[in-house]
Structure 1
Amino acid sequence: MKKTNLSFIKPLAFAIATVGLMAGCGSDDSNSSSSAATSTVVDSEDNQLAFDATAYTTVNISLDGVTMAVRQYRIVYVANPIEMASQSAFGSTMLLDDPYIYQTMIVSVAEASVSDENTALYFKVNNAGWFTSAVATDITEGAEFVSTSDTDAVGAALKAGYVFIDVGTRSRGARAVDGSWAGKAPAPVVDAKAAIRYLRLNDALMPGSAERIVVTGTSGGGGLTAAVSASGNSADYLPFLAAVGAAGVTGEDDSLASTINDDVFAAVAYCPINNLGNADAGYEWQYNGIRSDDNTGSLNGVAYSAGVQPAASAAIAALFPDYLNSLNLTLDDSSALTDATMNSAIVEQLKEELERQLAAGTDVPDYGEDFSVTLRGTTYAIANDWLTLSGSGTSATVADIDFEKFLKFVTTPIALKTVVAFDAVGVTGNPNISGETNLFGSDSYEYANFTQWSWNNNEVLGDGSGTDDTGLAWSDYLASTSELATQLKLINPIAYLNTDADSAPYWYVRHGMIDRDTAYAMQLTLYYAIKNDKSVRDVSFKMPYLTPHSGNYDVQEAFSWIKTKLDAGI
C-alpha cells in the first residue's frame, strides 16, 4: 500500500519488531469480517497484520471464586507504528521501555469462549484527561474478579463470554523518538480506529465478532469513545490511517480508499469530555454566574475576584449561545434546543433521576435537610437549599429545583476548574501545561491554543501559538491553514452525528449528577445530537444520583443494557 506523505511515517521495519507476544506476522490468508468490505487481504501491509492464533499466553484468574483460564494476545495493530520515546504529564516525563506500547492492544478471552465467533468484543480505551494511554490490562495471573459487582466491568464481561480488549493509543503529551509530539489530534481516534480495523481484518481468525464491538471509556476515554462511535467509516481519517499502516487502506493522497469498515455496534461512554473546541464556552456559559472566590481557585497566586478570570469567563461564556443555536438540535417535544431552553432540559434530566431514586426508596433529603456527599474519600454534609419534594416515601415527586442553587451545591465540595478550563495554556497567567491544549497543533510544538478566546489572548511569546506569534487572529488563522480545524473536527462526535458517517446504532451515556469536570450543557448537547441522529436506534442517558466524575459504577445496569441490544441483533 502506498502512503500519503505525512511527516510522521516510520519505516515498515518497525512493524515487525517483536513486542512481548506480538501477533501480527502470521499467515497470508487472513480474511476481513466486514460484510460491507472486501473479504480478502488486499495488500502487503494487511498481510503483515494477519492474526496468529498460536501467539498467546495463558493467565489463570478467579471469577466469582472459580479459577478461569484466559488466553491473552498482545498485538501491535498497525503495520507502520510510530516509535515512541516518552510521555509528559503533570510536569514530569516518563521514558518508555516499549516504543510501541501506545499502538498495542491486549486481547483477553476465556478458554471457554475461544470458539465463539458471535460473542461481543468489549473494547476499552483509557485516555483519562485525553492523555496518551499505554496499553495495560487488569487481567493478570492470579487476579480476582466478581461478575455481580457494580464496579467490575472485567468480571461482568468475562462472565458474559465477551472478548475483553484493552487498547493503547497515542494522545497528548506523547513524544516520538525523532522528537516530534506524535500524539496530537486526531491520533487517539486514529489509533482506536486502526485497532478496530485490525479486528475487522482478522475477524474470521479471532474469537468473537467484529460486527459486535462495544467501545467504552471514561472522561477523556469517554470523549474518545464518542468520537470513534460517531464517525464510523468516515473518509476524513484515511490519510492518518494510511500513515500508520492501518488495515484496509489503499491508494494515496486523493485516491485513498478503504476496503474495511471501522464503525462499531455500541458506545458506553462515562462522563465524556467531548467537543473540546466548544467545551470552554459551554463551561463558562454554565458556571460564569456562580463563580466566586469560594468555588474557583487562584491562578499564579492571584485570587479569582482580583485577577483576569472573571472577565475571561464572561467573554468565553458569550460565545456559547451562537454555537449551540447553530446546531439546530431539537428536544423530545420537537422544540429547539437553544441557550434559552438548555437549562430547562438539564433540570428535566435532574428531575427524572431524582424521581427514579425516590421511587426506588432512596432517602433523598427534602428542602432544609442535608445531602451526604462523598468525594475523594471525604464525606460532606451539605444543606439542601435547591430541591423541594412533594409527598413522601416512594410516592414522592420533585416539586421544584432551583437550578442556580443546584450549581452552587455541586461546587461546594470541589471547586470549579479555573478559567480557562480546557484550552488553558498561555492564558490568564496559567504557568503550567494543563488542560487539553497540548492535544493540538503542529507536532513540532508542544501545544497550540485551539479555541477562539485563548488563541486571541495567548500571552507567551515564542510558543508558536496565538496572535502574538502568528500575527493572525483566530478566524484568519483557521482560514490560512487546515491543520487545526481538521484536528478539532476529527475528535468531535458532534461533527459526525447527523451526517452520512455510520454512527453506532446504540449509545449508553452517563454523566454524574455532581460532576463539574465539564458542563451539563455539553453533555445535553451530545445527548440530543445522538438522539436527533436518525441512524441511532437507542440512546440511554442518565445523570446518576450524587455521582462525581467517574465511570463503571453501574456495571450491572450497563451490561444488562448491552445484552439487551446484542440480543436484538445488528
Structure 2
Amino acid sequence: MNRTILITLLILMLLNVSLSFSEVSKIQFSSNDNSLKFVSSKYVSQSQTYQGKLIKVRAYEKIIYVKHPVDSNKQVINIYIPEEYFVGESINGFNTNTAPIFFPNHIGGYMSADPAKFMVTEQSTPNSMNNRTVLYALSKGYIVASAGARGRLTKDLDGHNIGKAPAAIVDLKAAIRYLKFNDQIMPGDANKIISNGTSAGGAISSLLGASGNHPDFGPYLTALGAANASDDIFAVSAYCPIINLENADMAYEWQLSNIHTFDFRGKKGDLNNEELGVSQDLKKMFPPYLNQLSLKNVNGDLLTLDSNGNGNFKEIVKAFIVKSAQKAVDSGSDLTHYSFLNIVHNKVMFVDFDGYMQYIGRMKTPPAFDALTSSSFENNLFGNETVNSRHFTNYSFTHSKEINPQIADKLQINMMNPMHYIGNSNAKVAKNWRIRHGAKDRDTGFAIPLMLSMLLQNKGYTVDFAMPWDKPHSGDYDLDELFHWMDNLCK
C-alpha cells in the first residue's frame, strides 16, 4: 500500500471517519485544482418565457464538482447565468460582479437528487420536474447554481453503500467549494451564496449554513478531491427542515401524545398499547432535553417545560400558531368556524393547543423517526458502507426489535444535525436565516424548527421564522416573500 495512503487511513481511523480504501486511494496529494476550473466557453444558450419575460441564460450543465467523484451521475452541478451579465447589463440592481448565487437543492427523503434545471421536458425525472423557483430566481437577477448529491440508497458498482450520512451534505459542501474556487472567473458573487431546500433538502440547507468549514467534514471532502476553498455560505432558506433527528422522536410525542390515531402514507389506524407506552416514554424525555438547551426568548427569559410538558416554551409555540392564524385573517380568510381558535373582532386571541392538535392530526406512529424495527427512512440514512439501516437514538437501540441491533456512530449523527454546530467555534455559521414550517405540517414536531430558530437568535444570528397557516409539508410556496427577503439582504 502506498505509504501516503496508509498514513491517511490511520489519520481517518483516529478521527473515527469511515471511508473505504477505494475512496481513500483516489486522493491526490497535490495543490493542482486545474481539473476543477470553470470553463466559461462550455455552455449552451437556453431561453424561455416566464411571467411574460423572455429569460435567456448561458447554461453550464452536468459539471462534475470534485476531482474524484464516486457517483459521476449525481456529483454534478448546473449553473445558469443570465445573458445580460455577459453584455454589461443589470437585472434588479445586480450586475455580473454583484449578482448573488441562489443554491437550491432537490433532495427529498434523504434520497439522491439531480440538480435543478432551467429547461424541463416531459421526460425529466421527478426530482427535476419543478423549475419554477429557478425561473423566478433568474428573473430577479440571481445566478442559479444547483448541485446533485448522493442519497441513502446510492451504491457503487460493487454494491457498497456510498450515500449514507453524511454523503449529501459533503457533496453540497464540495459544490459550494467549487463555486468559491471559481469566484474570480465566474460571474456572480460567491460571498453571497444563499441555499434553499425543502424537507430533507431543508435539513441540508440548514447544515450548509450551520457547519461552514468545520473540520468534521474535511476528510470526506479531501477523499472526493473537493476544491481548495471554503464552504461557508451567506444565507439559508429552509422549508420544513427534517433536522435534529436524534431528538425528533421526543419532540413529536411531546406535541402529539394525546392523538392516538395516525394517517401515514395511506396507512390509517389506532395506536396499540405498546405504541401508546412508547409515546409516553418519549414525551417525558423531551422537557429535560429542551431545558438543557438553555434557550431564551427575546426578553432574555429562559424557556423551559415542566415534567408534564407545560411551560413558557409551549406558550411560544402557541404564540406562533396564533400569529399564523392572524396573518391568514388579515389576508381575508374566515377562520371563525374553527372551535380551537378564539377570534374577537378579527383578532385571534388564543389557540386551544390540544384542539389544534386534533385538527392537524398525527401522521407517524411512535417512534416517528428511529423506528424500533430500523425501518424508517432515517434509519436507512444512518447505515454505513455494508449495513443498510441503524438506530441513532439510545431509546430505540435499547428497545429495538431487531435481532442484532446496531447504532450509528456519534460523529455520523452529529454531522446531520445543524444544532450541533451552531455556537461551535470551528464552524462559520451563516449570518442570515429564513425558516418556514407549515402550521399543518405533521412530518416533524413544531418544536424542531423553533428550537433551531431560537438557538440561532440566542447566538446572535438574524432569523425570520414563521409557520404559514394551513400549509402542509411543502416548500417554495411564497417566492415573492422569499426573494424580497433575499433582495433586502443582498442589496
Q: Answer whether TM exceeds 0.5 for this pair.
A: yes
Work out the CA distance in 2 between the residues paired with 1:105 and 1:298.
Answer: 32
* 2:285 aligned partner, one-letter code: L
For residue 424 of structure 1, report the CA deviation from its aligned partner. Answer: 2.1
List per-residue Cα deviations over 1:411-454 (Å, max 9, x = no partner): 1xxx4212221112616xxxxx4331111132110011111221
- 1:343 counterpart = 2:328: no
- 1:276 counterpart = 2:228: no
- 1:489 counterpart = 2:414: yes
Cα distance, 1:305–1:236 mapped onto 2, change above 3 Å: closer
- 1:69 counterpart = 2:35: no
Aligned residue among 45, 62, 80 for 1:108: 80
Work out the CA distance in 2 between the residues paired with 1:110 and 1:156.
Answer: 12
Superposition TM-score, scaled by structure 2 size: 0.87
Secondary structure of the structure 2 residue equivalent to 1:354: helix
1:500-539 alignment runs, 5 A limit: 500=425, 501-534=427-460, 536=461, 538-539=462-463
Work out the CA distance in 2 between the residues paired with 1:183 and 1:214.
Answer: 24
Aligned residue among 202, 210, 214 for 1:230: 210
- 1:173 counterpart = 2:123: no
Aligned residue among 253, 259, 284 for 1:318: 284
List per-residue Cα deviations over 1:163-221 (Å, max 9, x = no partner): 11221111212112222111111111111110000001111111211101000000110
Work out the CA distance in 1 between the residues paired with 2:348 and 2:148.
Answer: 44
Tell me what 1:472 maps to.
none
Tell me what 1:251 maps to.
none
List per-residue Cα deviations over 1:511-533 (Å, max 9, x = no partner): 11111111001111111011112
Work out the CA distance in 1 between the residues paired with 2:394 and 2:38.
Answer: 45
Work out the CA distance in 2 between the residues paired with 1:245 and 1:458.
Answer: 38
For residue 9 of structure 1, report the CA deviation from its aligned partner. Answer: 4.3
Aligned residue among 559, 563, 570 for 2:483: 559
Tell me what 1:465 maps to.
406
Work out the CA distance in 2 between the residues paired with 1:111 and 1:14.
Answer: 37
Q: Is the 8 A contact 1:11 1:80 kept in 2?
A: no
Work out the CA distance in 1 between the residues paired with 2:396 and 2:316.
Answer: 29
Aligned residue among 365, 368, 371 for 1:424: 371
Work out the CA distance in 1 between the residues paired with 2:162 and 2:21.
Answer: 7
Secondary structure of the structure 2 residue equivalent to 1:564: helix
Tell me what 1:291 maps to.
259
For residue 225 of structure 1, report the CA deviation from its aligned partner. Answer: 0.6
Tell me what 2:335 maps to.
365
For residue 299 of structure 1, report the CA deviation from its aligned partner. Answer: 12
Work out the CA distance in 2 between the residues paired with 1:519 and 1:8.
Answer: 40
Q: Is the 8 A contact 1:425 1:434 kept in 2?
A: no
Aligned residue among 398, 410, 429 for 1:456: 398
Secondary structure of the structure 1 residue equivalent to 2:256: helix
- 1:546 counterpart = 2:477: no
Tell me what 1:34 maps to.
none
- 1:128 counterpart = 2:117: no
Tell me what 2:42 maps to.
55
Aligned residue among 441, 444, 447 for 2:389: 447
Work out the CA distance in 2 between the residues paired with 1:104 and 1:563.
Answer: 27
For residue 316 of structure 1, report the CA deviation from its aligned partner. Answer: 2.0
Superposition TM-score, scaled by structure 1 size: 0.75
Work out the CA distance in 1 between the residues paired with 2:267 and 2:43.
Answer: 51
List per-residue Cα deviations over 1:117-161 (Å, max 9, x = no partner): 220111011211222213342434799xxxxxxx94223211111
Work out the CA distance in 1 between the residues paired with 2:478 and 2:420.
Answer: 29
Q: Is the 8 A contact 1:61 1:140 kept in 2?
A: no
Cα distance, 1:461–1:142 mapped onto 2, change above 3 Å: closer
For residue 460 of structure 1, report the CA deviation from its aligned partner. Answer: 2.1
* 1:246 aligned partner, one-letter code: A
Work out the CA distance in 2 between the residues paired with 1:159 and 1:305.
Answer: 49
Residue-pair matches, total: 456
For residue 298 of structure 1, report the CA deviation from its aligned partner. Answer: 11
Tell me what 2:13 maps to.
none
Structure 2 residue ranges without an equivalent (≥5)? 10-18, 89-95, 124-130, 306-310
For residue 559 of structure 1, report the CA deviation from its aligned partner. Answer: 0.2
List per-residue Cα deviations over 1:482-526 (Å, max 9, x = no partner): x61111111111111122221111111101111111100111111
Tell me what 1:265 maps to.
234
1:322-337 alignment runs, 5 A limit: 322-337=288-303
- 1:389 counterpart = 2:330: no
List per-residue Cα deviations over 1:448-490 (Å, max 9, x = no partner): 111122111222225x526xxxxxxxxxxxxxxxx61111111
Work out the CA distance in 1 between the residues paired with 2:377 and 2:303.
Answer: 28
Work out the CA distance in 2 between the residues paired with 1:553 and 1:509.
Answer: 13
Tell me what 2:93 maps to.
none
Work out the CA distance in 1 between the residues paired with 2:400 and 2:300.
Answer: 41
Q: Quote the sequence identity (%).
A: 32
Aligned residue among 47, 65, 70 for 1:82: 70
